[in-house]
Chains A and B, each alone.
Chain A
Amino acid sequence: MGFSFQFGRTVGFIVRVVLGGLFIFAGIAKIYDPATFATELDRYQLLPWKICVAAADYLPWVEFLSGLCLFLKSFERGALLLITLLLSVFTLALASALVRGLNIDCGCFGQVFASTGTILPISRNLVLLLLAGILWTRYR
């Protein structure tokens, strides 16, 4: 019982470092260059341009703060909730692009269909969601 308790705490810590660290880094990278992020969001053709701009200004900060708050006792669960939501939304958007992207005629419209650069992020996000799931179980 003592061992599994320690093990649970260690696993929880490692998962928090991975998830939190990733979100902090990802947030910082996008905070640094919101214009590029806005263009990338626009490529998915899910949101009007102005919403992409607002999201590019706002979302990176949510990512960054959520990553940080994962290490703060009094905000840990809220941060995890946000991280889970963000991951789910990103993954669904990626899947949508993967499926729809090829129905758009390729060519001069500048919409390159989703390349294999979409399958990898989707798999990665699914793994991250699994990690988030692990953390959730600690709150039962």
Chain B
Amino acid sequence: MRTPVFLLFLSLFTCSTYGQLVFDQPEQSFKARPEQEMIVAKYRFINSGKESVKIENVQTSCGCTTAALKKTEYAPGESGEIEAKFSFGGRAGKQEKAIVVTTSHARDKPTVLRLLVDIKDPVQIQPQLVLWRVGEQPNAKKIQITVADDASVKILSVASDNPSIKAELSEVKPGKEYEIEITPSDLSQPAGATFLIHTNYPTQNPRTLYAYARVK
């Protein structure tokens, strides 16, 4: 029964062990809100081999993710951890970052640690921009504000910084759905407005959100 296939199959399996360092959780997922601004993930590992292992390189895929180690050499049986910090930098949605760990024991088979974060902004403004062309009919346009299921956010007020482009807030479903109706009074020349949307979220530090109108 010793066929070439089985041998190939077995060798493929052994290729998947990462040197001698065995990681508890090489892949970690998080859910976060944008205002958290960063996530710290700890990757614990243990030296399961008979020799001392030196971590030669810990490389992140780019600048938004940093990784830190307390020391580089681990005796057999010793455990340690790699602390990864991912700064959101304004990002939203599903993010996936990677940390590549190269050890002295398996230089050509680095370990890949993954950090997955789903950054969900509970408040969605769609669209953030309403646009008219010069000479168009000054019909009103609407901006929808939707709040995620697991949150309740109150839109307190909406103000326009341009009196000739008015913004009117209406509550479709308190705490859940709002609508802003934008009405320009004059489309004979280019113009613009910024709308300040005041919310009560998060309670410690309520955010002002923005939307814009342009006449081009």
Contacts and interface: CB of A to CB of B under 8 A. Distances in A.
Co-assembled chains A and B: yes
Interface of A: 84, 88, 91-92, 95, 98-99, 102-103, 105-107, 113, 115-116, 126, 129-130, 132-133, 136-137, 140
B61 A113 contact: yes
Nearest to A119: B27
Contact of B5 (A95, A98, A132): A132
A20 B32 CA distance: 44
A105 B5 contact: no
B194 interface: no
Using C-beta atoms within 8 Å of the partner chain, give the interface range for chain B: 20 to 34
11 contacts: A88-B8, A103-B100, A103-B110, A105-B61, A132-B5, A133-B5, A136-B3, A136-B5, A137-B1, A140-B1, A140-B3
A131 B112 CA distance: 28
Central interface residue in B9, B13, B110, B114, by most chain A CB within 10 Å = B9
Contacts of A105: 61-62
B62 A133 contact: no
A133 B61 contact: no
Contact of B9 (A102, A107, A113, A133): A133
Contacts of B98: 102, 113
Central interface residue in A106, A130, A132, by most chain B CB within 10 Å = A106
Given A99-B109, A132-B5, A133-B3, A107 B62 contact: yes
B4 to A, nearest CB: 8
Interface string B1-28: 1010110110011011000000000010
Contact of A126 (B1, B13, B61, B99): B13
B6 to A, nearest CB: 5
Interface of A is mostly: helix
Interface of B: 1, 3, 5-6, 8-9, 12-13, 15-16, 27, 59, 61-62, 96, 98-100, 109-110, 112, 114, 116
Contacts of B27: 116
A129 B8 contact: yes
A9 B3 CA distance: 19
Contacts of B8: 84, 88, 129
Nearest to A118: B112
Given A98-B112, A102-B100, A105-B61, 6 more contacts: A84-B5, A84-B8, A92-B12, A103-B59, A129-B5, A129-B12
B5 A116 contact: no
B9 A129 contact: yes
Given A136-B3, A140-B1, A102 B112 contact: yes
A10 to B, nearest CB: 20
Contacts of A137: 1, 3
